[in-house]
Structure 1
Amino acid sequence: MKAIVTGAAGFIGHTLVKRLLDEGYEVVGVDCFTDYYNIDIKRRNIDTIPNQNNNFTLVEADLRTVDLGALLSDAEVIFHQAGQPGVRKSWGNDFLHYTEMNINATQRLLEAARAAKNLKRLVYASSSSVYGDAETYPTKETDLPRPVSPYGVSKLAAEHLCSLYAKNFGIPITSLRYFTVYGPSQRPDMAFTRFLRAAIDRSSISIFGDGTQVRDFTYVDDIVNANLMCSQSTEAPGSIYNVAGGSNASVNDVLKVIEEITGSPLNVEYVTSVVGDVKRTGGDITSISSSVGWEPNVNLRSGLERHWEWAQSVYRA
């Protein structure tokens, strides 16, 4: 089975690539190594991918310009993980990067997928940010999306494109709405990596808001499992699923668990909340559970312990 993974050098992307190789796939990873965060980190992610059987090929290219027809010609599964991340950076002039990388690149990929004769499934990495401040919790896929950040708008727009191409051209697309992913190799700008690195450095941790905001944290291996299970399903084109870990913990709750795991108090300071951050997220996973049998396997404490082990290996001098 040949798989294409876009965003292969990223946090979720390279974790997915390693799992696919373990499962015996031939994998082509695509990444343009944007400078949203330190490119050296992405290079190190790629270096961790085992390639003893020469089943992995890295294509360093931009989805907006690369010859996608040739790239996808014999692809059987496409995992579209690439995109411009981050709520805080999506305001102002930076929004151009989000329209280009999240919307335009996705539309170009979808056009090329129409001609991919062997394609069995395209899995798109959407986000819980499409919900914004949801009307109900846990939030169902049928609830009205109301993003409150430009990032959320861009992810929802790309998701809508996936649905349109599924409906009009029959492309076998599944969109997965990820809820706050964490675990080893998490981006350096994301909360848990910042917290754990501060625990190592004994530096201060800036919390945006009062720390009572609640998130449905999802361990990265559970996200990878959801991708694999959905790629092998026969669901109708255009299916949309929440992928949520079920933790529903506040940021302050997480800080307490980290103190317990690391065995030392954290130096926390609370700063002004960020425009576009929601007060709560929580995903109803009834649909993905009943359709493909996916359930989260890693609880928050176990996931944080694994994240802590990784952080020490990377950041401890």
Structure 2
Amino acid sequence: MTIMVTGAKGMIGSCLVKELLDTGYDVVGIDRNGDEVRGGNYCHYKVDLADKERLQNIVACNKVDRLIHLAALAHSQNGRKYSWEDYRHLNVECAVNVFEAAGERPVLFISTVDVFGFTKGSVSVDTEPRPISHYAKSKKLAEDECKKLAHYTIFRFSPVYTEKVKRDIQKRYYLRYPDLVYQIGKGTEYEVLNVKKAVKTMAKWCESSPKNDIQIIKDDKPMFTPDYIKAEKEAGRAKLVLRFPKWTVVVGYVILKGITGENKYTYLLNKAVHPLKTREKTEVKH
């Protein structure tokens, strides 16, 4: 089969392209970056996803069988702050262009567990999303558009990391990289996702029949912050560890949330006080 991957030059996309090629698929990569390459088992196109007509032509000309939509605006880069209009354009409007180009072809859309927003206790795919950030809100809107397709799967990824790129999980224990870290109580467990498992799961999807469902993708074992802090110290980083009793963080969270409400700042504290815990499906109570 021929698989199209958007965001092919990104951290996850580049690993996925390699995995698919090693598995034996023909791959069409789409990204705003990189030199265009045609021929062989891999073709790369430098494309703005706003260009709907070119997307449709690439899909048709390469006889694409399935699409994996990874490309997205996630967080601010190089200090630049993005507006809601930026997120809506890149994560929703451009996603719709990809979905329309797919037509009847199966689509795998990569979303995020951030769509759950404020949580207390465990959640499943049946839990009603309450997105807070622009990123999460735009991903939820794109999920809604994806559900209109004839054949789709939505993966909600936990924070993804590689052995070299750990910025998303370092936010859970670093105040200032690489010297200042923090630990709440005896430590906190967070659900994360190694990029190796992420790409294996996406490649496996190419072999299956889409069930028009949503799945949460995470590592089998959660990260435990004291273990990561210990490893950082052994590597010569994390020179100063600030330890906060959990009750002080909980009290601060309750007070701040009571004063300012649910917003992006209290959402960050919510992650520390009530780390996301997911389960496969909602338990039926009799």
Q: TM-score, normalised on structure 1?
A: 0.68
User: Which deviations, in whole Å up to 9, do the C-alpha atoms of 1:4-45 show, x marking residues without a partner?
Assistant: 000000011000000000011111111113xxxxxxxxx6xx
In the alignment, is the contact (CA less than 8 A) between 2:160 and 2:168 conserved in 1?
Answer: no
User: Which deviations, in whole Å up to 9, do the C-alpha atoms of 1:144-182 show, x marking residues without a partner?
Assistant: 11112121111111111111x23xxx1x11000000111
In the alignment, is the contact (CA less than 8 A) between 1:176 and 1:240 conserved in 2?
Answer: yes
Q: In structure 2, do the counterparts of structure 1 residues 86 and 210 end up closer, same or farther at CA, with 3 Å as the change threshold? A: farther
Instruction: Tell me which residue corresponds to 1:156.
Output: 140
Give secondary structure in 2 for the equivalent of 1:75.
coil
Give the AA of the match of 2:152: I
Structure 1 residue 285: deviation in Å?
4.1
Structure 1 residue 68: deviation in Å?
1.5
Q: Among the aligned pairs, what percent are the same residue?
A: 23
Give secondary structure in 2 for the equivalent of 1:134.
coil
Asked whether 1:71 is paired with 2:49, we answer no
Counterpart-to-counterpart distance in 1, 2:79 and 2:213: 27
Asked whether 1:62 is paired with 2:57, we answer no
Find the partner of 1:108 among 79, 82, 97.
Answer: 97
Counterpart-to-counterpart distance in 1, 2:193 and 2:132: 21
Instruction: Tell me which residue corresponds to 2:223.
Output: 249
Instruction: Tell me which residue corresponds to 2:15.
Output: 15
Asked whether 1:181 is paired with 2:155, we answer no
User: Which deviations, in whole Å up to 9, do the C-alpha atoms of 1:36-69 show, x marking residues without a partner?
Assistant: xxxxxxx6xx9xxxx9x93111111111115121
Give the AA of the match of 1:78: L
Rg larger for:
2
Moved more, 226-235 or 214-223: 226-235
User: Which deviations, in whole Å up to 9, do the C-alpha atoms of 1:106-154 show, x marking residues without a partner?
Assistant: 011111212x5xx3x21111101011122432x2100111112121111
Give secondary structure in 2 for the equivalent of 1:146.
coil
Q: Greater strand share, 1 or 2?
A: 2
In the alignment, is the contact (CA less than 8 A) between 2:173 and 2:225 conserved in 1?
Answer: no
Instruction: Tell me which residue corresponds to 1:122.
Output: 107
1:143-292 to structure 2, matched below 5 A, reads: 143-163=127-147, 165-166=148-149, 170=150, 172-184=151-163, 186=165, 189-192=167-170, 203-205=178-180, 214-236=189-211, 238-260=212-234, 262=235, 264=236, 266-268=238-240, 275=265, 276-277=267-268, 278-279=270-271, 280-285=275-280
Q: In structure 2, do the counterparts of structure 1 residues 268 and 177 end up closer, same or farther at CA, with 3 Å as the change threshold? A: farther
Q: TM-score, normalised on structure 2?
A: 0.75
Instruction: Tell me which residue corresponds to 1:96.
Output: 85
Give the AA of the match of 1:103: V
Aligned residue pairs, count: 252
Give the AA of the match of 1:21: L
Structure 1 residue 86: deviation in Å?
2.2
* Aligned alpha-carbon RMSD (Å): 3.6
Give the unaligned 5+ runs of structure 1. Answer: 34-42, 288-317
